[in-house]
Amino acid sequence: MKIFLAQQNYHIGNFEYNTNKIIEAIGRARAQGADLVLFSELAICGYPPRDFLEFNDFIRQCYESVDQIKAHTQDIAVLVGGPAHNPRKEGKDLFNAAFFLYNGEVKAEVHKTLLPTYDVFDENRYFEPAFDWNVIEFKGKRLAVTICEDIWNLGDNPLYRQSPLEVLKDQKPDVILNLSASPYNYAQDVVRRSIVEATVAKYGLPMVYCNTIGSQTEIVFDGGSLVYDINGQQVAELAYFAEDEALVDLDTLCERKPNPEVAHKYYYSANEVGKEMPTLEYLNNEKNISEIHQALILGIRDYFGKMGFKKSTLGASGGIDSAVVQALAVEALGKENVHVLLMPSEFSTGHSVDDAVQLSKNLDNRYDIVPIREVYDKFIKTLNPLFGDLPFSLAEENIQSRSRGNLLMAVANKFGYILLNTSNKSELSTGYGTLYGDMAGGLSVLGDLYKTQVYALARYINRNGEIIPGNIITKAPSAELRPGQKDSDSLPEYDVLDQVLYQYIELRQGPREIIGAGFDEALVSRTLRMVNMNEYKRAQFCPIIRVSSKAFGVGRRLPIVAKYLG
C-alpha cells in the first residue's frame, strides 16, 4: 500500500479554498499511484477554529466540504480531519474527527480521544473524547488512526488516564497514522520527533505522521511531517515552514531489519513539555534563531495574506527592535509594501535618525521623517492648566510615545496599512511600554522574543552582509524619552533580566527556585512583581506571533486583579 502525505497550509473557515486544496492533492496522489492520502487535523475547517465550532452553519459547511471531497475518492482512500456530530445526548455535541473516505463514501470515522486543554489548546471546550476505538481495515492492512495528542500520552507522568493506542494495539494494527496540528515553538521539533520515536519503539509499529503548516493569527505551524519504519528509523521528514508532499510504501515500512541502530534519547508527556527545556543561551544558537526567523516570516506573511492585507507601516526609532521588525517585514512582504515613519523628538539623538535612514536605504523601502516636537509642545501647552508647575515625569515621556502612536495609526488608517508593533518580550513582561503609544499595533512581531534573542536575530539577519547597521546592534538600548535615557535606568541588564523572565514565564519557576539558581533575591522579587503588576497592559495588547513554549496571549491566562507576587 502506498500512502501519500499532504502537508498543507489551510485558512480557518475558508471552506472553498481548503476543499479545493485537498482535492488538488488527491489528484496529485492518484497520479503517483497512491492508495491512501493522509491530511492533517481539522484540515477541512483549519485549526484552531475555536468558537466558530459553536455555529451550526460552520459545522454544516464542514460536512458539505466532506461531501465534495468524497466525490473524488474513487479508487483512492482519504483520511482528512474535520469536526463531526456526536449522536449521543450526553457530552459535547462534536468530535474532533478523522473521516475515512473511499469510493465516494464515508467508510469510517475516528474520534480524537486525548483532548489537550493547556497553553494554546482548549479542545475540552468544544469536543467530546472518543467512546470507542477500532482499526480501519483497508486493502489487507489494519490502520491505527490517531489524531495529534492521541500519541502524546507518554513519559513517567502521563497527562491522561487512557491512551487509544493501548486499545488499538490489541487489534494487531500494521501501522499508526496520525493527523496532526502541532504548533511550532523553538523546542517543539525535538520534542515532537522524540514522541514519534518513542511511540514507534513502544508499540513496534511504523508511523506516518502528517502535520499542518501555516500561521493562524498568533500560532505558527511548522510542518516537519515524519515517517518512521517498524525498526524505528526515520524514513522521511517533510519541509519545515513550507507545504510539502511525500509518497511512502507501507510494505517497505513494515520490513524488519536486523539490529537497527536507533537511539530513543528522550520523550515527554504533554504536561512535561517545558519542565526540561534548554537554557535561554542554548535557544539563542544559530539553529534556533534560524527557525525563529522562518516562523516570524511565515507569521507575518500569513497574517497579511489570509486577512487580505498588503501593506504595512511601523515606527523606526533607530533602535534594535524596530530595525529587526522592519527587516523581517521587508523580507516577508516585499520592500514596496513596507513604509516606516521616523518621528524624532527633542530627546532623539542624531545617530538614531541616521541609523534609521541608513536601514531604510539598505532595505530600499519608503521612509518619511515626521518630527513630533510641535505635536508634543501642543499637548504640553494644552495640559499646562492641569499640570501646572509639576516636574517633568513619566506623563510627559508617555505623551511623546502616544504622539508617535497617533501619527502611525493616522497613516495606517489613511492608506490602509497595518501597523506592526515592535515591542519585545522583555518589555512586555516588565511593563516597559506605553499603552496606546509604542504598544499600539495590529500584529506583534517580536512580542515572544526576549531582548537578547532580538539581538541574536539581528546578527542572523546580517549573516550574509550588513543589512541592519552595526551601530544599531552595538549601541546601548534607549527609549529616548528624556535626556541621556537608557533602558538600564529602569530595568536590570537584559542578559540577567531575560534569564529571570525565562525561568518565571516559560519554566513557571517560583521565586525560591529562581533565587536558588543563583539570582539576586532583590532582583528576582522586583522582576516578578513587575511581570504580575503589568498584566493589565498585556491584556490590551495586539496578537503576538508565538515562537516559545509560553507566549503572552491565549496560551497564558492570568488574572489582572491579583495579589500573587504583586
pLDDT score at 286: 74
What number is the average pLDDT over the span 379-391?
A: 95
pLDDT at 523 over 70: yes
Q: CA 476 to CA 454: how far, in whole Å?
A: 14
Residues 6+ apart with CB under 8 A from 304: 310, 312, 332, 333, 418
pLDDT at 420 over 50: yes
Annotated binding site for ATP: 315-322, 422
Residue whose C-alpha cell is 530513543: 264
pLDDT at 551 over 80: yes
pLDDT score at 268: 38
Q: How confident is the model at residue 261 (pLDDT cuts 50, 70, 90)?
A: low
What number is the average pLDDT over the span 458-468?
A: 97
Higher pLDDT, 190 or 535: 535
Mean of all residue pLDDT scores within the chain: 94
Give bridge partners of residue 220 from the DSSP assignment: 215
Query: Residue 350 phi/psi, 5° resolution?
Result: -60, -35
pLDDT at 260 over 70: no
For the ranges 265-279, 326-340, 353-367, the lowest mean pLDDT is seen at 265-279
Residues 6+ apart with CB under 8 A from 218: 120, 299, 543, 544, 545, 546, 551, 553, 554
Closest among 414, 420, 407 to 365, alpha carbons compared: 420
Q: How confident is the model at residue 291 (pLDDT cuts 50, 70, 90)?
A: very high
pLDDT score at 117: 96
Higher pLDDT, 297 or 476: 297
Specify which of 146-160, 189-203, 345-359, 400-414 reaches the highest per-range mean pLDDT.
Answer: 400-414
What number is the average pLDDT over the span 81-88?
A: 98
Active site residues: 41, 112, 148
Annotated binding site for deamido-NAD(+): 398, 427, 537
pLDDT score at 215: 98
Annotated binding site: 118, 182, 315-322, 398, 422, 427, 537
As a whole-number percent, the residues of the chain with pLDDT over 90 amount to 88
Q: How confident is the model at residue 189 (pLDDT cuts 50, 70, 90)?
A: confident
Annotated binding site for L-glutamine: 118, 182
Structural domains for the chain:
2-272 (3.60.110.10), 280-538 (3.40.50.620)
Cell of 43: 484540515
Q: How confident is the model at residue 520 (pLDDT cuts 50, 70, 90)?
A: very high
**Can you count the helices (H) and strands (E) in the chain?**
18, 19
Q: CA 254 to CA 262: how far, in whole Å?
A: 16
Cβ–Cβ under 8 Å, residues 441 and 300: no
Q: Give me the count of residues in the chain.
A: 566
CB atoms within 10 A of CB 547: 29
pLDDT score at 272: 42
Residues 6+ apart with CB under 8 A from 147: 41, 81, 96, 97, 98, 110, 111, 112, 178, 179, 180
Helix axes 56-70, 15-31, angle to 10 degrees: 20
pLDDT score at 351: 84
Cβ–Cβ under 8 Å, residues 229 and 235: yes
pLDDT at 317 over 50: yes
